[in-house]
Structure 1
Amino acid sequence: MSQQSTVPEHHVHVEPSVINDFDLDVVDEALHHPDKAEYTDHFGFTVQVRTDNEYDADTTDSEYEDASSVKNKSPPQKDTAAVVPEDPVLPDSCSSSIINANEDWQLISSTPIKTSTSYYDMLISKCTRSSNDSEKQAQLKQETSHNLELLKEKSLQQEETDWEFWSNVISDFDRVHRTEQAKFRRLLGVGVPSSLRGMLWQIFSNSKSNSELIENEYRELLNSTSSHEKLIRRDLSRTFPNLDYFKEPGGEGQEMLFNVIKAYSLFDPQVGYCQGLHFVVGVLLLHMPDEAAFCVLIKLMSQYDLRGQFTPQMETLHERLFQFNQLLLHFLPQVHRHLDAQGVLATMYASQWFMTLFAYRCPLDLVFRVFDLVFVEGSQIVINFALALMKKNQQVILSLEFESLLEFFSSNIFDAYKDNACQFVQDAYSFDIPPRLLQKLSKQYVLEAARIAKIQSMEDNMKRENIELTEQVKKLKKSYKTLELEHQDVAKQMIDAKMSMASLAAENQQLKHELNQMKREMVKIKASMDDESHYRFSELASQNAQLVGDNSELQDRLSELESALIDMKLKYAESENDYEVMKQKLHEAQKLSLFKK
Structure 2
Amino acid sequence: MNTSSASKTAAVVNDFDLNVVDEALLNPEKPEYVDHFGFTVQVKTDHESDSSDSEEEENGKSDTPAFSVSPQTNSTRNTIPTVRQQNVKENNAIATIVDADRTEHAELASHNNNIEDWQLIPSIEQLGSNTASENDNSVQRPTHSPTPSTTSYYELLLSKFTRSGHQNSSKQTQLKEETSHNLEQLKEQSSRGDIDWEFWSSVISDFDRVNATQHSKFRLLISIGIPSQLRGKLWRIFSNSETDSDLVEEEYRELLDQTSPHEKVIRRDLPRTFPSLPYFKDKGGEGQEMLFNVIKAYSLFDEHVGYCQGLHFVVGVLLLHMPDEAAFCVLLKLMGHYGLRGHFTPQMETLHRHMYQFDQLLLQHLPQIHRHLDAQGVMPSMYTSQWFMTLFAYRCPLDLVFRVFDLLFVEGSHIILNFALALMKKNQQVILSLDFESLLDFFSGTIFDAYKENAYDFAQDAYKFDISTKQLAKLSKQYEAEAAKEAKMQSIEDSIRRENFELQDQIKKLKLSYKTLEEEHQDIAQQVISSKMSMAALDAENQQLKHELAVMKAEMIKIKNCMDDERQRQFDELAQHNAHLVATNSSLEDRLSELEGLLIDMKLKYAESENDYQLMKQKLHEAQKLSSLPR
In 2 relative to 1, CA 429–505 (structure 1 residues): closer, same or farther, beyond 3 Å? same
Q: Which residue number in structure 1 is paired with residue 246 of structure 2?
A: 212
Q: Among residues 76, 80, 98, which one is paired with 1:6 in the alignment?
A: 98
How far has the Cα of 1:514 moved from its partner? 13
Separation in 1 of the partners of 2:423 and 2:352? 20
1:155-554 alignment, distance < 5 Å: 155-159=190-194, 161-495=195-529
Deviations 1:277-319 (A, max 9, x none): 1111111111111111111000000000000111111111111
Deviations 1:107-151 (A, max 9, x none): xxxxxxxxxxxxx55431122344321111111111111111111
Q: Which residue number in structure 2 is paired with residue 151 of structure 1?
A: 186
How far has the Cα of 1:414 moved from its partner? 0.5
How far has the Cα of 1:4 moved from its partner? 5.3
How far has the Cα of 1:244 moved from its partner? 0.8
How far has the Cα of 1:349 moved from its partner? 1.0
- CA RMSD across the alignment: 2.9
Separation in 1 of the partners of 2:538 and 2:254? 99
8 Å contact 2:149–2:339 — kept in the other structure?
A: no
8 Å contact 1:369–1:421 — kept in the other structure?
A: yes
How far has the Cα of 1:415 moved from its partner? 0.4
Structure 2 unmatched runs, 5+: 1-91, 113-141, 555-631
SS of equivalent to 2:226? coil
8 Å contact 2:231–2:321 — kept in the other structure?
A: yes
Match of 1:152, as an amino acid?
A: K
Match of 1:328, as an amino acid?
A: L
Separation in 2 of the partners of 1:264 and 1:6? 21
8 Å contact 1:202–1:208 — kept in the other structure?
A: yes
Separation in 2 of the partners of 1:228 and 1:503? 78
Separation in 2 of the partners of 1:322 and 1:360? 21
8 Å contact 1:84–1:125 — kept in the other structure?
A: no
In 2 relative to 1, CA 262–513 (structure 1 residues): closer, same or farther, beyond 3 Å? closer
In 2 relative to 1, CA 503–162 (structure 1 residues): closer, same or farther, beyond 3 Å? same
Match of 2:105, as an amino acid?
A: H
Deviations 1:421-454 (A, max 9, x none): 0000000000000111111111111122122222
Separation in 2 of the partners of 1:433 and 1:213? 37
SS of equivalent to 1:274? coil
SS of equivalent to 2:274? coil
SS of equivalent to 1:209? coil
Separation in 1 of the partners of 2:401 and 2:546? 110
How far has the Cα of 1:502 moved from its partner? 7.2
Q: Which residue number in structure 1 is paired with residue 145 of structure 2?
A: 75
In 2 relative to 1, CA 503–199 (structure 1 residues): closer, same or farther, beyond 3 Å? closer
Q: Which residue number in structure 2 is paired with residue 50 of structure 1?
A: none
Structure 1 unmatched runs, 5+: 19-71, 89-119, 516-520, 522-597
Separation in 2 of the partners of 1:282 and 1:410? 19
Q: Among residues 125, 138, 141, which one is paired with 2:173 in the alignment?
A: 138
Match of 1:196, as an amino acid?
A: L
Aligned-pair identity (%): 69
In 2 relative to 1, CA 506–426 (structure 1 residues): closer, same or farther, beyond 3 Å? same
8 Å contact 1:148–1:196 — kept in the other structure?
A: yes
In 2 relative to 1, CA 380–83 (structure 1 residues): closer, same or farther, beyond 3 Å? closer
SS of equivalent to 1:446? helix
How far has the Cα of 1:504 moved from its partner? 8.6
Separation in 2 of the partners of 1:403 and 1:12? 34
SS of equivalent to 2:272? coil
In 2 relative to 1, CA 500–254 (structure 1 residues): closer, same or farther, beyond 3 Å? closer
How far has the Cα of 1:393 moved from its partner? 0.4
Match of 1:280, as an amino acid?
A: V
Q: Aligned pair count?
A: 432
How far has the Cα of 1:500 moved from its partner? 6.9
Match of 2:177, as an amino acid?
A: Q
In 2 relative to 1, CA 508–454 (structure 1 residues): closer, same or farther, beyond 3 Å? same
Deviations 1:389-443 (A, max 9, x none): 0000000011111111111111211100010000000000000001111111111
8 Å contact 2:109–2:277 — kept in the other structure?
A: no
Deviations 1:494-513 (A, max 9, x none): 44566677789999999999
8 Å contact 2:343–2:389 — kept in the other structure?
A: yes
In 2 relative to 1, CA 512–361 (structure 1 residues): closer, same or farther, beyond 3 Å? closer
Separation in 2 of the partners of 1:182 and 1:451? 40
8 Å contact 2:270–2:312 — kept in the other structure?
A: yes
Which structure ranks higher in relative contact order (CA pairs < 8 Å, sequence separation ≥ 6)? 1
In 2 relative to 1, CA 17–193 (structure 1 residues): closer, same or farther, beyond 3 Å? closer
8 Å contact 1:14–1:364 — kept in the other structure?
A: no
In 2 relative to 1, CA 199–487 (structure 1 residues): closer, same or farther, beyond 3 Å? same
SS of equivalent to 1:133? helix
